[in-house]
Amino acid sequence: MFGRVWGRFLPLVYGDFVGSTAFSRSVYRTELIEGFCPRQSLSRAVLSTGCRSCAYAMARSYQTPTQTMAMPRSSAGTCVQKPELDESSPLPQQQQQNNVLTGQPRIMVVGVGGAGGNAVNNMIASSLPGVEFLVANTDAQALKMSLSPSRVQLGASLTEGLGAGARPDIGRAAAEEAYETLKREFRGAHLVFVTAGMGGGTGTGAAPIIARAAAELGCLTVAVVTKPFLFEGIVRTKIAEQGIDELSQQVDTILVIPNQNLFKVASPRTSFLDAFRLADHVLYNGVRSITDLMTVPGLINLDFADVRSVVKEMGRAMMGTGEVEMEAGNEERAIRASEAAICNPLLDETSLRGARGVLVNITGGMDMTLFEVDAAANRIREEVDPDANIIFGSTFDATMQGRLRVSVLATGIPGG
């Protein structure tokens, strides 16, 4: 991993030189050193410093006008701090170095019930790397149709593979029956996403039990669930709300997507199937933004501890993604990407205001500039509480040349 992430926004780089990864309580200003062009890409800034760890040595951040954060350097112009290798070790030096730099967290996405299983199928079809998938259902036929290599039949004796019949109590009992099997699946996992549709039997009843199984093993847990359409009736909506309350008590963070909000983003020509894929895409983008920061090479990578500090025991959350085509030197478009990310029409009347934790991933091609990153990140900062724990990361994507994507996960939202 190349570093922890901006302690305070653009404090040169990489956590060991900066200290805290939090953004809280202070606003930093950035002063560019002489000769740095606003159109110069971050990748060229890396090349000009001669060291990847000094990606932002082209900029200086100040806590006060007299307090400058300096980057320790050797006489050769590269960072002094390097992993210490054991010369007596039988392993080759390169392999030792790889062992220092690797150690990725194990991330799982669990689809519960029919809606959760469909979400997992869509994510697998979208080729999301670095994630393991698991589906759990009382419906044996639905399990057979799943693309997930890992499947758990809930309540095989209780339901005989015929489903929960829209009864949450059956879904709950079915999950309890398979409890030890579920715990075996979660053993060794660090972060578990639980996705389900609320209002039915399996998703509503089993999701809280499955989340509890993961939490008992020390996994960080995030739930992403949907609420019924209005046309599904008051009874189903009440069941969904009760299920959300139960699930909220078992997970660290929960994100709710009302299906009714699909009308805000769908057109009269949008198919029923495509409309649900829009909701599934919220989960996909949220998981991808987190995994990219920890697994995809970039200028500002995060570790699992950074993610935990934003997600652990934070309650209600929101996720959003904005993507724009970029023009050289046009920071206005970067701002629009941030605004699109913080105004997700699918979410349940949530916003960044009052959020206690915010995780931001800014992704672009090798032409992404320092000024664009600065503009996008500051737009997010302006939206949240000054005391919020804001953690920024930035990654490169070869397919994003000429484009910039901003992904936001905000947690600890009031009312959750």
Per-residue pLDDT, 264: 85
The per-residue DSSP string of 103-157 comes to -PPPEEEEEEHHHHHHHHHHHHHTT-TT-EEEEEESBHHHHHH---S-EEETTHH
- 111 vs 268, higher pLDDT: 111
Measure the N-to-C terminal CA separation of the chain; round to a whole number of Å.
33
The hierarchical CATH code for the domain 107-251 is 3.40.50.1440
The whole-chain average pLDDT of the chain stands at 77
Residues 376-395, mean pLDDT to the nearest whole number: 88
If we measure between CA atoms, which residue out of 164, 107, 166, 105 comes closest to residue 136? 164
pLDDT tens, 43-76?
A: 555 444 444 444 433 333 323 333 323 333 333 3
Contact 200, 139 (CB under 8 A): no
The ranges assigned to domains in the chain are 1-62+315-416, 107-251
Least confident of 28-42, 112-126, 173-187, 365-379: 28-42
* pTM for the predicted model, two decimal places: 0.73
Superfamily of domain 1-62+315-416: Tubulin/FtsZ, C-terminal domain (3.30.1330.20)
Does 331 have pLDDT greater than 80?
no
Cβ neighbors of 403 (< 8 A, separation 6 or more) are: 323, 324, 325, 326, 364, 365
Q: What is the pLDDT of residues 278-320, one digit of tens each?
A: 888 877 888 887 877 777 766 777 778 888 989 998 888 888 8
Name the least confident of 3-7, 144-148, 340-344, 401-405.
Answer: 3-7
Phi, psi of 206 (to 5 degrees): -85, -30
Tell me the average pLDDT across 179-200.
96
What mean pLDDT do residues 229-244 have? 95
Instruction: Assess whether pLDDT exceeds 70 at residue 412.
Output: yes
Q: What is the model's pLDDT at position 416? A: 53
Most confident of 59-68, 237-246, 258-267: 237-246
Each residue's pLDDT tens digit, 2-42: 334 343 333 333 333 333 333 333 333 334 434 445 555 55
Give dist(CA 333, CA 336) in Å, integer. Answer: 5
Helices 168-177 & 202-216 angle (0-180, nearest 10): 30
User: What DSSP letter does each residue of 212-240 carry, written as one string?
Assistant: HHHHHTT-EEEEEEEE--GGG-HHHHHHH
Residues 168-191, mean pLDDT to the nearest whole number: 97
Q: Are 187 and 108 in contact (CB under 8 A)?
A: no
